Structure 1
C-alpha cells in the first residue's frame, strides 16, 4: 500500500493491493465526522472575506504611498498571494460551503472573483464538473492526464502551457479549457453548461467584461506602467499560485487514474493529496487540506482539518499527504508526470523520457 507521506516515487504503485473496491463507504466517512463540520457560519465566512479585502486594500495604500520600484516586487508577491486567498473564499462560495444562502454565495463569489478576472459562474460550473469526475481520465475537467497517443499529437503550444509553462496556464484554460476539450468559460453555448445556466454564465461574463473595462480606463488615464505596477504584477503571482496548488493536488506519479467501470466517485475523490504549505496555510485558508474537501465538497474550509483527522483512521493507506517542500514536490512532478498509458483501467503518470525511449 502507499505510504501516507510521499517520499519515494520510484516504488511500484500498489494497484493490486488496492483492488477495485474500497473497504469503506462514503457513509462510513461521514459518520466519523462531527456534524458541526458540515455547518457553515455566515459570520465566520464573511470574516475571512472582509479580512482578505482589508489586507488587499491596505497593501494597495502602502504601495501607492511608497511608489517605489524597490517595494513593487515585494508588493506583487504579497498582493498576488492575497488575490489567491480571495479566490479561495470565492471557491467556497462556488461550492455552497460559504453559507446556505444561494444569493449570498453568488454575491460574495462575484465580489471575490470578478476583481481577479475569474468569471464566477463559468468557473463554478466547470469546477463542479471537476469534483464530480475527479480521477476519471475521460471525464475529469482540469489537470487530468493526457494519454500517450494524445501526448504525441499535441501541438507545440498546448505542450508549452501544459508541460513547460504550467504555472501560467489558467487564463488559457478559461478560454480554451484543457487539452482534448472545447468550449469557453464565458459563452453559454459551451458544452460546459446546461441551457438553464445561460443567464448565470452571461452575468459573470458581463462582470468580467466590466472589470476589463475598469482596467482599460485606468490604463488610459494613468498609463501601462500603472497597470503593471498595481495590477498585472499581482495578477501573475495569483495565476501562478492557482496553477501551482491545482497542479500539486492532482499531479503525482503514485496517484492512480481510472477508466470505465473501475472509477466511482469516492475512489476518484481519493486520487488527490494533502500538501503542507507551511506558514502560508492560514493565509490561503488551508486549501492544502484537499482530500477531505474532495470527499465533502460542501464543507467550509475552516472545518476541513477537523474532518481530516476524523477520517484518517478509516482511510488508512488510502489517505495521501506530503510534508516535503512544495517546490521540491512541484519540480519532481514537473519532470515525472506527462502522460498515462492508452490502455488500462488503473494507470499512473509516466515521464517524457518513457515516450522518447519508445520512439
Structure 2
C-alpha cells in the first residue's frame, strides 16, 4: 500500500472511512457521465408533482372528514403525514432551484409547499445550503454531524437521550434552536445562519410560518383541540418522523467517512452519504433515496435522479454507497452504534473498533 492510501473495504454496501487522498474521479468526470437532459428542469413535470401531492392531500382530508372515525384516523395520520413529507420534498427541489429555471416560481411553490407543514422556506433553504456546502465536514456541517468521543463522554444525560434516542422528533427543535453545539434560529434574520442580505427572505418565510400557526390556533379555538389533533397534529408528527428518519439515515451509517480540516473537499463530502431503498414509497416521496447523486449535483430535479444515479455508478465504482437492507434494520443499527467518532484523525467514522489512520 502506498503512502497516499489506507485500507478500503465494504460493509453491507457501505465503504469504510479509509479513503484515498485523491479520488480516482473528478466532479467533471461525474458530470460528463450524466446525460445533459438530467440537469434540465421541466416546469410541466415539476408542477405536475406539486399539484398531484396537493390533490392527494385534499382527497385524504375529504375522506377523513367523511368517516370522522377514530378507527380511521391513525391510518389517515400515516398516509397524510407521508404526503406532507412528499410535499416537503417538492419544496426541497424549490430550495435548490431545481424545480424550474425561474427563481420567482421556485420561491412561490417553495412557500406553498413548506408553509402549510410549518417549515420556514427561506430559513430552511439557507441552512440546508450550508449543509450541502459542508457535508461530512466535522467542523462545518450543519446537520446530523457526529460528536467526538470526549464530547460524548461529557454530554449531559438529557442531551444524550434527545440526540440518540428521541432524534426522530428533533426537527421542530432544530428550527428554533439549531443543532447541538451551534446557535441560531431559522426565524431570526440576525441569526448566525444568515447573511445581512438574506434578512427579508428570512422575514418573509417567518411571516408565512406564523400565519399558518395562527390559522391552526384559530381552527383549534373554533372547533376544539380534537380538531387540531385529528386533522393536523397526527399527520404533522408522522411528517416530522419521516423527515428526521430519512435525513438521519442518509448521513448516519457505520463506515461512512467524516473529515477534519484540510482533508475535507466538497466531492469527498458529497459522496459521504448513502442511497436507501424505501420500498413502496420510493415514488411517493419522489425518489429522495437517490441521495448520492443529489449531493453531488444539487440542480438535478428529483424526477431525473434515478437516471443520473445509474450514470454515475460505473464511474464511482466502490465509492458509490447504497444499502438495500430494510430501513428498520438500518435505523436500529445506526441508532445503536453511531454515537461518536474518535477524537483524533483527519478521516474518522462511527465504527468504534475501526483502525482509522490519518492520511499523510
Deviation for aligned residue 1:14: 6.0
Q: Does 1:191 align with 2:192?
A: yes
Paired position in structure 2 for 1:157: 158
CA RMSD of aligned residues (A): 1.4
TM-score, reference length from structure 1 = 0.94
SS of the counterpart of 2:10? coil
Q: Does 1:3 align with 2:18?
A: no
SS of the counterpart of 1:97? coil
Query: For residues 259 and 300 of structure 1, what CA distance do their matches in structure 2 show?
Result: 31
Say whether the 8 Å CA contact 1:3–1:320 is kept in structure 2: no
Query: For residues 5 and 156 of structure 1, what CA distance do their matches in structure 2 show?
Result: 31
Say whether the 8 Å CA contact 1:338–1:350 is kept in structure 2: no
**Cα–Cα, structure 1 residues 4 and 350, in superposed 2: closer, same or farther, change >3 Å?**
closer
Q: Within 5 Å, give how 1:85-234 maps onto structure 2.
A: 85-234=86-235
Paired position in structure 2 for 1:313: 314
Say whether the 8 Å CA contact 1:87–1:112 is kept in structure 2: yes
**Cα–Cα, structure 1 residues 128 and 66, in superposed 2: closer, same or farther, change >3 Å?**
same
Paired position in structure 1 for 2:62: 61
Deviation for aligned residue 1:103: 0.4
Paired position in structure 1 for 2:291: 290
Deviation for aligned residue 1:152: 2.2
Query: For residues 41 and 153 of structure 1, what CA distance do their matches in structure 2 show?
Result: 50
Query: For residues 344 and 178 of structure 2, what CA distance do their matches in structure 1 show?
Result: 24
Deviation for aligned residue 1:160: 2.2
Query: For residues 3 and 296 of structure 1, what CA distance do their matches in structure 2 show?
Result: 24
Query: For residues 5 and 47 of structure 1, what CA distance do their matches in structure 2 show?
Result: 36
Query: In the TM superposition, what whole-angstrom CA distance separates every residue of 1:112-152 from its partner, at most 9, and x where no partner exists?
Result: 00000000000000000000000101000000111112212
Deviation for aligned residue 1:296: 0.2
SS of the counterpart of 2:215? helix
Query: For residues 41 and 5 of structure 1, what CA distance do their matches in structure 2 show?
Result: 36
Deviation for aligned residue 1:198: 0.3
Deviation for aligned residue 1:157: 3.2
Paired position in structure 2 for 1:241: 242
Paired position in structure 1 for 2:357: none
Deviation for aligned residue 1:230: 0.3
Query: For residues 99 and 117 of structure 2, what CA distance do their matches in structure 1 show?
Result: 19
Query: For residues 336 and 95 of structure 1, what CA distance do their matches in structure 2 show?
Result: 32
Deviation for aligned residue 1:254: 0.7
Query: For residues 144 and 49 of structure 1, what CA distance do their matches in structure 2 show?
Result: 31
Say whether the 8 Å CA contact 1:256–1:271 is kept in structure 2: yes
Paired position in structure 2 for 1:330: 331
Paired position in structure 2 for 1:253: 254
Query: For residues 278 and 208 of structure 2, what CA distance do their matches in structure 1 show?
Result: 32
Query: In the TM superposition, what whole-angstrom CA distance separates every residue of 1:154-178 from its partner, at most 9, and x where no partner exists?
Result: 2333222210111000001111111
Deviation for aligned residue 1:341: 1.1
TM-score, reference length from structure 2 = 0.94
Unpaired stretches in structure 1, ≥5 consecutive residues: 353-359
Unpaired stretches in structure 2, ≥5 consecutive residues: 1-7, 354-360
